[in-house]
Amino acid sequence: MKWVFLGILGVLIAWSLLAYAMMPDASRDGRTVLTWVSDDNPARRGSIRLFEQLNPDLRLLLDPANTTLEKIIVQCKGGVGGDVFNCYGRWQLVDFVRAGVLQPIDEEAARLGFDVAKTWPEVLDEISIEAFNPAAGRYERHQYTFPLNVNANVMFFNKRIFDEVGEPYPTSDWDWNECLRVAKKLVKRDRHGRITRYGLGTYEMHETVGLVWQFGGSFFDPTLTYCTLDSSEAIEAMRFLHRMLVVDEVMPSVAERNAIGTQGGWGSSVIDLFCTERIAMLRMGRWGMIKFRTQPNLRGNIGAVLLPHMRSGADEIRALSVGINPKSPNKNEALRFLQFLASDEFSWQVVESADALPPSPKVGQDERFLKDAAHPEEDFNHLFIEAIRRGRSNHFPPFIQTTRVERIFNRHLAVMSDRKTTPEQMCRALTDEINEEMRVSLTRYASMREEYKRRTGRDFDPADYPPKGDRPSAGRNPSAPGSRNAHARRTDERP
Amino acid sequence: MGLRLSRRSRRDFGWAMLFLLPNIMGFAVFVAAPVVFSLVMAFTNWDLAQREPFGFVGFENFERLFFGPEAKDFRKAFGTTLYFMLGMPVSIVGSLVLAVLLSDPIYLGSRRVRRLLIGASLAATCAGLMVCAGTGRATTGLALAIIGASAAVATVFNRVGLRTLFYVPFFTAGVAQYILWKLMFRPDSGPINASLRVLFAVLGLDIEPPNWLGSTANLWCLDPQTGLPAAGHFGLGARDAIVIMGIWATVGGNNMLLYLAGLANVPQDLYEAAMIDGAERWKSFRHVSWPQLAPTTFFIVIMSIIGGLQGGFEQAKIMTEGNPAETTISLGFYIYLTGFADFRLGLASAIAWTMFVMILAVTLVQWRFGSRQINI
């Protein structure tokens, strides 16, 4: 019997060796393979084609299955991460840098021509971080990524629906009250009173950040040491959100959106709801046009205006950027990919594919983009430039995980959407919970207390946290964009 | 005195070890080593976000879970896990009923009647497919075709066909099931709410069906923020939707097979004696089958508790991402969030080992009492 088993073992070993020998070799044609961890946006294929044309000795492989923050961190730490990976905004950049999975590229970027000066100055904080250098005793800025594209949001609207309800198209000087009035008219119900079309798309945390800014409030104080969502401006913004969500029901809640939206794939859910005309207006960046262009019912029916303002017109802007895994065996090739992202050829490819705004401001402000001859109906490209000028990148404190803030916020938002709390209760409970988490972290970690002192100029005192003396008051929020202190030092160094 | 092996036995032992070696190596590398490693991790502050230098912290992680800042979230996750186990009794009773119904061949009438039934079932299948292809009403057509095909299988293969049909959800890929159920629970266009609307209209009730996966309402009136009972939270919501899906998935699964095996092992002479004593079908079940099935029931209950403590991750990840308002975060999902969203790997390991202790306690109960002859 043992000879039978031995024979089976031998056959299995032989098969394994055969399978190993037959395993497809990614670099079989002699080219070096570079793995790019990125979403499967249709525009990526064009980028890969162009990169391979310009770099015939390299092969770029897309890895769309491992794009989430936790997977990237765990895989890079474990030594099996991609060579380059996408970073979807400052909040991810900070977490990646803290986890030590992003390679600083200052020197190489300056040498190869893709330093911070090569892209929009407004997204400086999306690709670089100011960190405290204890040896030098000062804050120093380091670049970690280069933009793949730059995103600023506008309000897209469906002209056909506006025509159907006899409402004139909105203009860029509108405010939130006007937006709500229009959205109410766009809502459509069936004979049972159930909503079949919403006026506006869903607001989650990142959308609400902009809303709070527009009402003159902010999530955190200028030193990013405590949460200020209980300020009168923030409460006013949340009251307005509550009105849109619960009272007037002009936008679906997150749960409603998930329940009626599609599942999975690039550009699903809220974009699909806009494409199928179940949402009439949608806050989104130019990248939405990738999908809108493929929809026959939307052809010639898309309009766009700037987001409504209130006390301010500011909104969150982001750079989708690409960074290098410090454990990548192909660092030089990875640098060539980032160099490619800074090229005009790539920026024009972004323009053509509608994947948000190009990394190059020169291309982004070129007349050939602003008056796109290939898509004359898209006469709103100048709005994205205006939106970039009005916006800024969003900063979170180093004393709490951004994903944790997002989870806490979305939980409270869901409870408010479910009519279980008022906006005032929500803001106060949310602020208390976030501040409590930061207080626990500050009490626990000495490095955080040092950072707290550097930011505030005083020692951390758990009994006086959040500090009672200098809370922002109504109409005088120091961190509101446009205010005197809006550009106060915002650092997210590794504590 | 040491065990003395003959030369041949020693040689055989060597061969046996050689054959077992690949499996042992796999177990050591992919199971034993990570388990030991996670136990060590549970006593460290290992943090992928590098908020503090790595070090051993003793029982601090466990303290934090029960008395520290994580106590509330841990309690809520444990409460949600228990909530998901609410469907367990229903599922076990359902499995027993199915096993009793399917233990004997089902009489479907004379051969002529059976032929008619098969013909009608196949006709319904064809009609469904034609509706699907011809009118484009895919949902209605497919539903009709599936019902027709299932009826045909049941008629031709009788109880074997039905057992297989009821077992199908158990070996169907979980992700596909969850996406399907997510569509079924859609509040506006899902078939569940569509059926409820028809039912309510027939009954003359002016009630809106539940919002299912979008609602924090629940049968225990638990407040989504605190996890404790409070007024104003009663109703059917996301947690109940997951419980209902769990019942559907498990009622015809392994529990039904265990009960079928248990029923097959009940000595026939006990039934014959009961029949002689004048016991009809219910009394025969009550006084013969049920006591004989007691060890099986005990085993099923214990295994279901163990499964329930471990479960809930895939459902929550795919159907709700732990929402709405984090009401569907089970212990398994909480471990994932702590480890891979908050990056506190040491704390996540401590939660995993706390869960292990709970499961071990349940297993010890089964070990202690499971082998007893329980006859009522």
DSSP for A344-381 reads HHHHHHHHHHT-SB-S-HHHHT-HHHHT-TT-TT-TTH
Within 8 A of A436 by CB-CB distance, chain B residues are 69
How confident is the model at residue A470, as a pLDDT? 55
User: H-helix or E-strand containing A119?
Assistant: none
Q: Which residues 136-195 of A have a C-beta within 8 angstroms of B? A: 194
How confident is the model at residue A482, as a pLDDT? 37
Tokens of A334: 């990875």
Phi and psi torsions of A42, nearest 5°: -55, -25
pLDDT of A149 > 80? The answer is yes
Distance from the Cα of B79 to chain A's closest Cα (Å) equals 17
Residue in chain A nearest B64 by alpha carbon: A440
- Contacts for B347 with CB less than 8 Å, ≥ 6 apart: B61, B64, B65, B70, B338, B339
pLDDT more than 70, % of chain A: 92
Cross-chain Cβ contact B341/A401 below 8 Å: yes
Q: What is the mean pLDDT of chain A?
A: 89
Residue in chain B nearest A411 by alpha carbon: B325
Cross-chain Cβ contact A420/B19 below 8 Å: no
Distance from the Cα of A475 to chain B's closest Cα (Å) equals 31
In which residue ranges of chain B is pLDDT below 70? 1-3, 370-376
How confident is the model at residue A264, as a pLDDT? 55
Within 8 A of B182 by CB-CB distance, chain A residues are 263
Cross-chain Cβ contact B189/A260 below 8 Å: yes
Confidence label for A487 from pLDDT (cuts 50, 70 and 90):
very low
Within 8 A of A414 by CB-CB distance, chain B residues are 216, 224, 323-325
C-alpha A115/C-alpha B48 separation (Å) is 28
Of the ranges A153-157, A360-364, A485-489, B269-273, which one carries the lowest mean pLDDT score?
A485-489
Mean pLDDT for A368-375 is: 89
How confident is the model at residue A263, as a pLDDT? 57
- Does residue A213 contact residue A313 with C-beta atoms inside 8 Å? no
Is pTM beyond 0.90 here?
Answer: no
Cross-chain Cβ contact A259/B341 below 8 Å: no
DSSP-assigned beta bridge partners for residue A146:
A322
C-alpha B242/C-alpha A464 separation (Å) is 44
How confident is the model at residue A267, as a pLDDT? 53
Tens of pLDDT, residue by residue over B245-292, are 999 988 988 999 999 999 999 999 999 999 998 888 889 999 999 999
Within 8 A of A411 by CB-CB distance, chain B residues are 224-225, 323, 325-326
C-alpha B327/C-alpha B143 separation (Å) is 32
Cross-chain Cβ contact A415/B325 below 8 Å: yes
Phi and psi torsions of A126, nearest 5°: -90, -15
- Does residue B111 contact residue B155 with C-beta atoms inside 8 Å? no
- Does residue A187 contact residue A198 with C-beta atoms inside 8 Å? yes
Confidence label for A475 from pLDDT (cuts 50, 70 and 90):
very low
C-alpha A104/C-alpha A143 separation (Å) is 6
| Backbone CA torsion sign across A132, A136, A137, A139 | negative
How confident is the model at residue B316, as a pLDDT? 87
Residue in chain A nearest B340 by alpha carbon: A70
Tens of pLDDT, residue by residue over A172-204, are 999 999 999 999 999 999 888 889 999 999 888
How confident is the model at residue A266, as a pLDDT? 53
Within 8 A of A450 by CB-CB distance, chain B residues are none
Within 8 A of A410 by CB-CB distance, chain B residues are 323, 325
A26 against B291, higher pLDDT: B291
Q: From chain B, which residues contact A within 8 Å (Cβ)?
A: 12, 15, 19, 22, 48-52, 69, 179, 182, 185-189, 211-217, 224-225, 232-233, 320, 323-326, 337, 340-343
How confident is the model at residue A134, as a pLDDT? 84
Q: B258: closest CA among B162, B172, B157, B167?
A: B167
- Does residue B114 contact residue B155 with C-beta atoms inside 8 Å? yes
How confident is the model at residue A485, as a pLDDT? 37
How confident is the model at residue A443, as a pLDDT? 93
DSSP-assigned beta bridge partners for residue A58:
A32
Q: Which segments within A214-336 are labelled E, that is strand?
A: 279-284, 302-305, 318-324
How confident is the model at residue B371, as a pLDDT? 62
Distance from the Cα of B14 to chain A's closest Cα (Å) equals 11
ipTM of this predicted complex? 0.81
- Helix, strand or coil, per DSSP, at residue B368: helix
Residue in chain B nearest A69 by alpha carbon: B341
- Contacts for A340 with CB less than 8 Å, ≥ 6 apart: A50, A51, A54, A55, A346
Of the ranges A70-74, A130-134, B139-143, which one carries the lowest mean pLDDT score?
B139-143
C-alpha B148/C-alpha B127 separation (Å) is 9
Q: Which of A70, A263, A411 sits opposite B325 (nearest CB)?
A: A411
pLDDT of A461 > 70? The answer is yes
Mean pLDDT for A80-109 is: 93
Within 8 A of B216 by CB-CB distance, chain A residues are 414-415, 418, 420
Within 8 A of A404 by CB-CB distance, chain B residues are 341-342
Mean pLDDT for A109-131 is: 94
- Helix, strand or coil, per DSSP, at residue A471: coil
Mean pLDDT for A219-235 is: 95
How confident is the model at residue A479, as a pLDDT? 43
C-alpha A108/C-alpha A115 separation (Å) is 8
DSSP-assigned beta bridge partners for residue B258:
none
How confident is the model at residue A477, as a pLDDT? 41
Within 8 A of A255 by CB-CB distance, chain B residues are 211, 213-215, 323-324
Distance from the Cα of A8 to chain B's closest Cα (Å) equals 10
pLDDT of A18 > 60? The answer is yes
Confidence label for A28 from pLDDT (cuts 50, 70 and 90):
low
As separate numbers, helices (DSSP H) first and strands (DSSP E) second, chain A gives 21, 12
Tens of pLDDT, residue by residue over A249-307, are 999 988 778 777 665 555 557 888 999 999 999 999 999 999 999 999 999 999 999 99
